[in-house]
């Protein structure tokens, strides 16, 4: 059967009820618009919130945990091999956090094709001297360039140039909260004492704002070499190697492999931050549910319009049947009507959804905890548009199915006799 003729009849019927058709299409447009805008916005927020954590966290962290040796003398001893040995209150003997042979490990990691980059890190516990009071703090020794590249360190430095850490010896970037407590400015010199009671003077090069106030009150950053000096260690002393992978999903497997290979501890991001996955999953689920609900409501709108159209066009359907159109032809006519409402409404919905996302993207969103964010975040993922388009077609098909079936079952004799 000639599909052009069917489309022609469908369009003529649609145009005869122009206003209702437009209202039905607007229903679809509205729901698709909201679906796109909502999902883009929610997923943008999700990415932002995940990013706060993901951007700053290594996919795999290699370190040496302070823990008692698993091989205690009694378990090694041949004499007690066949016995159960109970040792209570085992203490760790050496407080050695250093990663053995860190230079060689870093060389090996750089050659690994799965690794996007790595950044060494050491931490030192210090006291910042503020008059007669000492404030506890932590100095993170970092490689500024690697840290900026992999973990967006420079995004969080609100004042000063992060590269100064590398270029100026004995320099430090303080957390904003810490700086406020110490009442210091850029260019000032801050006095610290180490746990080993040694006194150092460090020049303040900038301030740092992570978005987590508690962190900003204790954290500060210096170069790796400055921190090694403060800790009184040699220049191969590294306590952490942070590895960023190309594919975050393989992190658990890679962590296990590295732990075995380098005989150190390795922790993957999934284990370290399990709760984040759950949070973003639930948020995504909720936004999809809301979007799909909107579409279903629009589907009912289409169903209503088609039902009304069928009641109004009973005579036309009867005459089409009397002049030789079969039930399946009539069915197709109404399916085409439903589909064209869905496709036209859906296309406009995609367009308006995109425009709406652009507008949301311009709304200022300034918050103390997210220094790098200026406007509301939007994720312009093509996937939402594809889902929206598919869904608009599927819902209208479902909405049109029952009325079309009803139309195809109309008995022309009853209509013609009824007059």
Partner 1 sequence: MGNTVMLEARQINKSFHDPLTVKILNDITFTISSGEFVSVTGKSGCGKSTLLYILSTMDTDYEGDVFIEQEIMRGKSEKELAGVRNKKIGFVFQFHYLLNEFTVLENVMLPGLKLGASREEEVKEKAMGLLKELDIHPLFNKYANQLSGGEKQRVAIARALINSPGIIMCDEPTGNLDKKNSLIVFGIFKKLAEENHQTLLVVTHDEEFARNSHRIIEMEDGRIINK
- Is the Cα torsion angle 387, 393, 394, 396 positive or negative in sign? positive
Residue among 338 and 350 whose Cβ is closer to partner 1: 338
Q: Which two tokens stand for residue 362?
A: 């311009």
SS3 17: coil
Residue among 187 and 324 whose Cβ is closer to partner 1: 324
Q: Whole-number minimum distance, CB 5 to partner 1, in Å?
A: 5
Q: Whole-number minimum distance, CB 19 to partner 1, in Å?
A: 15
Return the ∠ at Cα 221 (arms to 215 and 226), rounded to 5°: 150
Q: Whole-number minimum distance, CB 319 to partner 1, in Å?
A: 4
Which one-letter DSSP state was computed for residue 222? Answer: E
SS3 203: strand
Distance between the two ends of the chain, CA-based, in angstroms?
Answer: 30
SS3 132: coil
Q: Is 245 exposed, middle or buried (0-12, 13-18, 19+ CB in 10 A)?
A: buried
Residue among 211 and 412 whose Cβ is closer to partner 1: 412
Q: Whole-number minimum distance, CB 287 to partner 1, in Å?
A: 42
Residue among 196 and 323 whose Cβ is closer to partner 1: 323
Binding site for partner 1 (CB under 8 A): 1-2, 5, 9, 12-13, 15-16, 315-316, 318-329, 411-413, 416-417, 419
Q: Whole-number minimum distance, CB 416 to partner 1, in Å?
A: 6
CA distance linking residue 396 with residue 59, whole number of Å: 44
Residue among 105 and 337 whose Cβ is closer to partner 1: 337
Residue among 13 and 146 whose Cβ is closer to partner 1: 13
CA distance linking residue 280 with residue 382, whole number of Å: 19
CA distance linking residue 94 with residue 89, whole number of Å: 16
Q: Whole-number minimum distance, CB 409 to partner 1, in Å?
A: 10
Q: Is 285 exposed, middle or buried (0-12, 13-18, 19+ CB in 10 A)?
A: exposed
Alpha carbon 18 to chain centroid, angstroms: 44
Residue among 2 and 278 whose Cβ is closer to partner 1: 2
Q: Whole-number minimum distance, CB 4 to partner 1, in Å?
A: 9
């Amino acid at each position: 059967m000639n599909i052009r003729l069917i489309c022609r009849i469908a369009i003529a019927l649609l145009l005869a009820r122009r206003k209702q058709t437009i209202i039905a299409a607007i229903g679809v447009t509205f729901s698709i618009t909201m679906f796109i805008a909502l999902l883009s916005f929610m997923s943008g927020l999700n990415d932002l919130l995940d990013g706060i954590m993901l951007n700053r966290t290594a996919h795999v962290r290699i370190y040496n945990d302070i823990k008692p040796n698993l091989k205690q003398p009694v378990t090694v001893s041949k004499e007690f091999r066949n016995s159960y040995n109970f040792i209570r209150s085992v203490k760790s003997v050496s407080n050695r956090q250093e990663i053995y042979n860190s230079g060689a490990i870093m060389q090996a990691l750089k050659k690994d094709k799965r690794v996007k980059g790595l950044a060494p890190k050491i931490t030192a516990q210090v006291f910042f001297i503020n008059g007669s009071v000492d404030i506890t703090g932590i100095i993170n020794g970092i490689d500024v360039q690697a840290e900026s590249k992999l973990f967006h360190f420079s995004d969080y430095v609100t004042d000063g140039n992060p590269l100064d850490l590398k270029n100026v010896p004995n320099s430090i970037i303080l957390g904003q909260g810490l700086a406020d407590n110490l009442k210091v400015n850029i260019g000032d010199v801050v006095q610290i004492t180490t746990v080993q009671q040694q006194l150092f003077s460090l020049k303040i090069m900038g301030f740092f704002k992570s978005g987590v106030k508690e962190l900003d009150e204790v954290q500060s950053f210096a170069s790796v070499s400055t921190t090694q000096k403060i800790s009184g260690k040699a220049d191969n002393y590294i306590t952490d190697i942070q590895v960023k992978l190309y594919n975050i999903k393989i992190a658990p497997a890679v962590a296990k492999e590295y732990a075995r290979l380098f005989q150190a501890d390795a922790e993957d991001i999934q284990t370290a931050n399990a709760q984040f996955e759950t949070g973003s999953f639930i948020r995504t689920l909720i936004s999809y549910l809301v979007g799909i609900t909107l579409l279903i409501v629009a589907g009912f709108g289409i169903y209503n319009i088609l039902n009304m159209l069928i009641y109004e066009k009973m005579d036309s359907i009867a005459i089409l049947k009397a002049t030789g159109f079969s039930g399946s032809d009539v069915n197709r006519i109404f399916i085409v009507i439903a589909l064209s409402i869905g496709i036209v409404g859906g296309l406009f919905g995609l367009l308006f959804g995109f425009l709406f996302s652009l507008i949301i993207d311009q709304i200022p969103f300034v918050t103390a905890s997210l220094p790098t964010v200026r406007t509301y975040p939007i994720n312009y993922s093509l996937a939402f548009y594809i889902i929206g388009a598919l869904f608009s077609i599927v819902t209208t098909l479902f909405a049109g199915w029952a009325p079309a079936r009803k139309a195809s079952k109309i008995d022309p004799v009853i209509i013609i006799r009824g007059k």
